[in-house]
Amino acid sequence: MSRRLPPLNSLKAFETAARHLSFTKAAEELFVTQAAVSHQIKALEEHLSIKLFRRKNRTLLLTEEGQSYFLDIKDTFTALSDATEKLLSKTASGSLTVASQPSFAIQWLVPRLAQFSEQHPEIDVRIKAIDLDEDFLDDDVDIAIYYGRGNWSGIRADKLRDEYLIPVCAPSLLNGDNPLNKPSDLDNHTLLHDHSRKDWKQWCRNAGASEVNVNQGPIFSLSSLVLQAAIYGQGVALGYSVFSRPDIEAGRLVCPFDQVLPSKEAYYIVCEDNQSELGKIKAFREWMLNLFAQEQDNSRLPGRVS
C-alpha cells in the first residue's frame, strides 16, 4: 500500500506556522510571503480534508486535529534539522581543493595559508593553479578565486575587495640618475606591463602624462612576474594593490606617485551555490572574507615614498 504523504513544502509551512501561531512570522522564517504560507496551509488542509487552524478574535489557533498533528510531526522536523547539521559537520574535515590563478596563489594565498591551517588543522588544502580560460569549478574543485565583475550565473560569489592599480618600482629607481618626481618623468624609464599596455595608457591619461611613451617595455603574462621585474629594478610597473602591498611593506617596492587606477573588476571567492554552507567550504570562505576585511581596515592608499 502506498503512503499518503502530503507535499513537504506544505508540511513545513504548517509546522512553522503552528510553532509561531502566526502566518506572518512563518513567512519571515521561510523567506516567503504571508500569502504563500496561507496557500500552502490551504493545500495541506485540502490534501488531508481536515481543518488545521481557526481564528478567534484576530488570533491564530490550532484546531484539536491541528494540535495533535503538530505534536506528531514537530520532532520529525527537528530530527531532519539535526541530521542535516550532522552531515554538514562531517564535511568540515578532509581535503579542500582551491583553484586560483597562479599570481593570486603565489602573491597572496600561499604566504597566508599557514594561518588557515592553524585555525583548521582538520582541513587539508590543495591549491590548483589554473589558466584564465579554464573552467574553475570543475568536478575536482571545491572553491575558487575569480577576477571579474561578479556577474557569473549559477554560483555564489562573495567580493573579497575592490581593486586598483598602483605604480611601483625598486627604491633604487626612485632617486637614481633619472628621478621620478612627476608622472612625466616616466618617459625616462622602462614601463613594465601586466598582460597588455592598456593599463599604463589609462593611468598616464588620468595622471596628465599623455606625452609618456607607453608603447615600450616588456609585457608579462603573470602579475607576479611583472612585480618581480620591478623588484629587480628593470622598470616601473603598474601593480595590483592586493599583490603589491606585501612588497611595499617589506621595502622591496616603493610608490613613486599618489595616483591610482581603479579597476572595474575585483577578486571574488566563489563556489557552487548549493555547497556554500558545507563545513570545509564555509570555513575557507569565511576565513578569506574576514582576512581581506582585516587587511583592508589596516591599509591605506599608498602615497609617494621618498
What stretches of the chain show up as alpha helix (H) in DSSP? Answer: 8-20, 23-30, 34-48, 64-90, 102-104, 110-119, 171-174, 198-206, 223-231, 241-249, 279-297
With 70 as the cut, is the pLDDT of residue 297 above it? no
Quick one: pLDDT at residue 1? 40
Q: Find residue 220's DSSP bridge partners.
A: 194
* pLDDT tens readout for residues 112-152: 999 999 999 989 999 988 875 455 577 678 899 988 888 88
For residue 306, what pLDDT band results from cuts at 50, 70 and 90? very low
Residue 277: the pLDDT is 83
For 20, the grid coordinates are 509561531
pLDDT at 300: 53
Structure-model confidence comparison of residues 299 and 64, the more confident one? 64
pLDDT(299) > 70: no
pLDDT per position as a tens digit, 243-281: 898 899 889 999 999 899 998 888 999 998 888 888 889
**Nearest CA-CA partner of 168 in 264, 103, 233, 262:** 233
> 167-189 burial, b if ≥16 CB within 10 A, otherwise e?
bbbbeebbeeeeebeebebbeeb
The better pLDDT of the pair 195, 191 is held by 191
299 DSSP assignment: -
- Given the C-alpha cell 592586493, which residue does it identify? 242
Cα dihedral 72, 78, 79, 80, rounded to 10, equals: 110
Task: Give residue-wise pLDDT tens across range 160-193.
Answer: 988 899 999 999 998 878 889 999 999 999 999 9
Q: Is the pLDDT of residue 303 over 50?
A: no
Domains in the chain: ranges and CATH: 8-90 (1.10.10.10), 94-163+265-297 (3.40.190.10), 164-262 (3.40.190.10)
pLDDT of residue 150: 84
Does residue 241 or residue 229 have the better pLDDT? 229
297/74: higher pLDDT: 74
The pTM of this model reads 0.63
Confidence of residue 79 (pLDDT cuts 50, 70, 90): confident
Nearest residue to 105 (alpha-carbon basis) of 143, 153, 135, 154:
143
- Give the Cβ contact number of residue 80 at 10 Å: 12
Rounded Cα gap, residues 303 and 39, in angstroms: 60
Q: CB within 8 A of 31, min separation 6: which ones?
A: none
pLDDT-derived band of residue 61, with 50, 70 and 90 as boundaries?
A: very high
The whole-chain average pLDDT of the chain stands at: 86
Average pLDDT over residues 67-80: 88
Give the C-alpha separation, 268 to 276, whole Å. 14
User: Given this model, what pLDDT does residue 305 score?
Assistant: 40
Which grid cell is 173?
Answer: 629607481
